[in-house]
Amino acid sequence: MLKTERAEFIRLKLDKHYPDPPIPLSHKDPYTLLVAVLLSAQCTDERVNKVTPGLFALADNPADMSKLSVEQIDNAVRSCGLSPRKAQSILGLSKIIDASFQGKVPPDMQVLETFPGVGHKTASVVMSQAFGVPSFPVDTHIHRLAQRWGLTSGKNVKQTEDDLKKLYPPELWNKLHLQIIYYGREFCSARSCDGTVCEICRTCYPNRKNPFQHHKA
């Protein structure tokens, strides 16, 4: 298969499995999504969804969150891991949004990336899922699968993002991001598939005999 043929086969297969993929993190608006995505770093979405109801019961908007202490936020999100740093970031970005953006998360990638604890991937997820702006957030899982499937050389996550954006039109980016995540969890995780097990890996590379060695993010 040529790379373009693999890309189209993968798109069709993902559409069959996940025609309307839901956003995995529970939220009610761009602000609560931003906080949830920040908490999801090195933590499962399932764990985040168990933690955020308690946090948002204390504060679910920038003004109220700004009134909490780092310790209060830390106590609420501790089970997510890296809680002291995440708590400081949540408090810091809440104060900025409240003071400088009338309490509303700005729909601007470059501005979001200046917020404490918000990197390119987090900003991309918010732009995609909160505002519907075409983005292709690449986390470690998408980075791994795109390499297994021969869609990127995978030198780093930026290269993977650039390669995926070249293969697919912008109107598909937001959906594909979610579809790849769901497929990876169900069929092509780091443990369940080594590049030779799941249907996509076997179809794209039928002659692959050994476990695929991918570049880490």
CA distance 90 to 116: 8
CA angle 213, 215, 217 (to 5 degrees): 140
CA distance 93 to 21: 29
188: Cα separation from own chain's centroid: 17
Query: 45 phi and psi, to 5 degrees?
Result: -60, -35
Q: Among 74, 98, 139, 163, which one carries the catalytic annotation?
A: 139
CA distance 93 to 188: 35
Which residues touch 190 (CB under 8 Å, ≥6 apart)? 141, 144
Q: Is 132 left (phi over 0), alpha (psi -120 to 50) or beta?
A: left
Q: Among 13, 74, 86, 121, which one carries the catalytic annotation?
A: 121
What dihedral angle (degrees, nearest 10) is formed by the CA atoms of 178, 38, 124, 154?
Answer: -70
Residue 139: active-site member: yes
Residue 121: active-site member: yes
Catalytic residue annotation: 121, 139
